[in-house]
Amino acid sequence: MVAEADHFSKGPNRRYVNHRHLHMLELLYSFMAVLSFYLLFLSRSEEVHTVWEVMHPAFIPVFFATTVLLLAIIFSSEQAEHKLLLIIIHSILSHVFFVVIFPAGYFGAQQATLGKTRLVYDNVIFDGIPLGPETILVQAFNWFRGINFQAALSVVLARMFGIDFFWGHLFFVPLMWGTFVPVTAFLVTRAFCEDKNVSVLSSLLVSLFPTSIIWGTYSVKNSLGFIFFFCSLYFILKYLFTSGPKASFLMMISSFATVVSHPLTGIVIVSLVLLAIILKNYENEKAKNPLSAKISLLLSFLISTSLLPLALVSFRLVSTFNTNFSLDKLYELSPTQIVGELILGQCIDFSLGGALICSLAPLVGFIGMIYLLRSGVNAGPDKTRRVSTLFLFMGFLMVLVDYRILRLFMVNLPFREVDRLWVFRDFMATPFVAFVVSGIVASLQRITSKLGRIRAQFLFSKLSSASRAILIFAIAILLSGWITASVHFAYPHQGPLQTTSYELEAVKYIETNANESYVVISDLWMMYAGGMIVGVHNPRAYYFSTSEPEGVALFNEMKMNVSIDTMVEAMEYNNATSAYFIIEEPRLGEEEYNRIIQQAQLNGLQTYKTFLYRGEEKLRIFHHKEFPE
Amino acid sequence: MEMAKYKAGFHRLPVSRIENKIRPENVEKAIVRDKNLLFTIFSYATAFLIFINISVVHSSVMGIAASSVYFLINAIFLGSTFFQKEDLFLRFILGNLLLIVFLGLISWVVMMIYNLDAIRSTMVLCTVTTLCSFMSKMAKYDISIEFRRNESNLKH
């Protein structure tokens, strides 16, 4: 299969599409891509829970057809650069669902990040985003928190392009991911596979992994870290085979960017850099002293693997997370469940379809790794391929082991979803998936061309060229279906009501019409919306942070008993002269919403503004102003 | 328009030659050559234009145009310095990636020291341009030294 994958594009078989047809195919693909974006734009909604709730019915068929066309172009003899450009467009399309369909992107961390970053953009805060009570250690940690790096980068880019910071932030990661992840997949694969077509295929096959789709859809520091992690992976591979300061510099600078983007990606990349340095040393030393070289490689693998759990535990020194090793989770599980968890990980909680979509591609990648390692041992001196495969295999194994340690033997982790580690695994498996797929395509092509060699039967030869085209088409259909299913699975099918357009309008209305400093008492959703427009804890326009209990307590107090006293109490947070109280019908329910309005009227609280959506009242702002005595 | 054609010297060239002259490879060559630091100065000028846009004009069109030129020049500087062996497209993409890393790291340091207002953002852009141009010059210098060394080895 190695040779077959290598000769994936070299034979005449691949030139089944002539140039005129190729240009037509590319034009058709461009049209379909534009149509997909248009359908996505048509699906944009102002009040929505999930993207699938409002998705245009024609979008998925069109997306599938677009992917089929793209695969047909990939299997053709077009230049690799042109193919990459088309893949970038497809990749951006797969990652912008939230930004295009929702009024303010996906709720949660992305919006909280925008709320904090907004303060940097508006020059409200200095010396980065603060972390809380600061000791020297905490301050040093704060420097390297991902949010500061992301804030700095997105602020500078938004200023440069002169675009609205709201949109600049929301599109930041989807565009970066859509552009750089496919290109990096291409480069990583090319590091050990000479055939450009296998590398091009791998740049599309990143989309087979649902985790790599979903993490590229929202602008959070971890997503930025993943992008830099993948780029660093390429520079590490480059360092493994190139001597000289440039390769080391590239590896170091990209790894540093990964470290400051997010602690998780930082720790994993440090582990991999360590592994790469030892592996390079191992390659030089193994001829002289094979035993000690092997021992040092094994030790470095163990150290690299233990780095992530140990680093997470040590975060206790600088953060409030009490991360620790524990057997509590194991005690809660039956022996069968423990075995299931060890083998399948989180897939054990999924449906059969979900488990297949999540685990099939990594499994194929793992098989490809094993195959290449074995064939590398047997084939002899193909050093580049063997060392790259060994490095990626060790990295892959490291992530698998770490995932299980974090999931089963650790508690109070700084992040809830341990499955974010899958992104590392998927990035490292992608080149091998492409290798296996291209190997299978080449094998099938060989079989069909063998049929064509039976010269005596002219008709049979024609049949063979037709069957080759059918074969390519069938593989394109299969892969497109897989990619479409992966995209469909990646985007959540259930979710709360996302930030609505009237919530954003309410924030903008207050901001435009308020002449003095003010504070807003609201639920979490309005806190997110307010943070995105004016920033969190802005002294002039104060919205509480979603992680702050005081803001939630004030809102609950107002909900129970609407009173001016609570609003006056809230004003003390930023010495404001005005206070606003916002309630929303979809968040509270009709009965509760009406009760609060009645109580507010009884207690003499003035309605400032109401917002309607499709003729129904959805949101109401109450206002109280303190006049100086 | 006519005047610009004369200044660029296109009036002396047949149409096919003009097409050749403004091919991406030639644009890259011209930027990397950076004769009399023309493109470095041009990059500083775009940084200044971005500053004017941030402070006075507030136009997306102007921002996108100036930033595109800024990215083009500096990404080519970095691409030619670190990725000479890659194809033009990949050189450009990787140059952009590295430029984003530099922009991120330098603006991060500036933000942690004080803040990222219009002046300091422009300072970040100018620092990155200086860095990119300097690296490009160093890479050219290294290549010329290597070339001379090979030449003298051949003579000996």
Tokens of residue A152, six digits: 């700095």
Interchain contact, B112 vs A143, CB within 8 Å: yes
Please report the ipTM that was assigned to this predicted complex.
Answer: 0.91
**CA dihedral sign, ordered B78, B84, B89, B93:** negative
Query: Mean of the pLDDT values across residues A143-158?
Result: 91
What residues in A contact B50, CB-CB < 8 Å? Answer: 159-160, 162
pLDDT score of B18: 58
Interchain contact, B121 vs A187, CB within 8 Å: no
Number of H helices, E strands in chain A: 28, 7
Distance between CA atoms of A510 and A503, rounded to whole angstroms? 11
Asked if residue B4 has pLDDT above 70, the reply is no
Tokens of residue A562, six digits: 């609407």
Instruction: Give the side-chain half-sphere CA count within 13 A for A462.
Output: 3
Task: Report residue A456's pLDDT band, with 50, 70 and 90 as the boundaries.
Answer: very low
The model's pTM:
0.91
Interchain contact, A152 vs B104, CB within 8 Å: yes
Asked if residue A3 has pLDDT above 60, the reply is no
**B60 vs A163, A250, A254: nearest CB:** A163
A149 touches chain B (CB under 8 A): yes
Interchain contact, B60 vs A151, CB within 8 Å: no
Residue-wise pLDDT tens digits, A575-621: 999 999 999 999 999 999 999 999 999 988 889 999 999 999 999 99
Size of interface A-B (CB pairs under 8 A): 113
Distance between CA atoms of B41 and B38, rounded to whole angstroms? 5
Distance between CA atoms of A431 and A184, rounded to whole angstroms? 10
pLDDT score of A608: 94
Helix (H, G, I), strand (E, B) or coil at A455: coil
Task: Report residue A222's pLDDT band, with 50, 70 and 90 as the boundaries.
Answer: very high
Shortest distance between the Cα of B11 and any Cα of chain A, in A, equals 32
Interchain contact, B107 vs A257, CB within 8 Å: no
| Among A residues 6-65, those touching chain B with beta carbons less than 8 Å apart | none
pLDDT score of A538: 92
**A162 vs B63, B70, B110: nearest CB:** B63
Non-local CB neighbours of A224 within 8 Å, separated by 6+ positions? A146, A149, A150, A153, A172, A173, A176, A261, A262
β-bridge mates for residue A220, sequence order = none
What residues in A contact B111, CB-CB < 8 Å? Answer: 120, 127-128, 148, 151-152, 155
What residues in B contact A260, CB-CB < 8 Å? Answer: 105, 108
Asked if residue A457 has pLDDT above 60, the reply is no
Please, are residues A586 and A500 in contact by the beta-carbon 8 Å criterion?
yes
Shortest distance between the Cα of A498 and any Cα of chain B, in A, equals 28
Query: Mean of the pLDDT values across residues A527-531?
Result: 95
Interchain contact, B108 vs A250, CB within 8 Å: no
Residue-wise pLDDT tens digits, A548-585: 899 999 999 999 999 899 999 999 998 999 999 999 99
A159 touches chain B (CB under 8 A): yes
Residue-wise pLDDT tens digits, B33-70: 988 899 999 999 999 999 999 999 999 999 999 999 99
pLDDT score of B22: 73
B62 touches chain A (CB under 8 A): yes
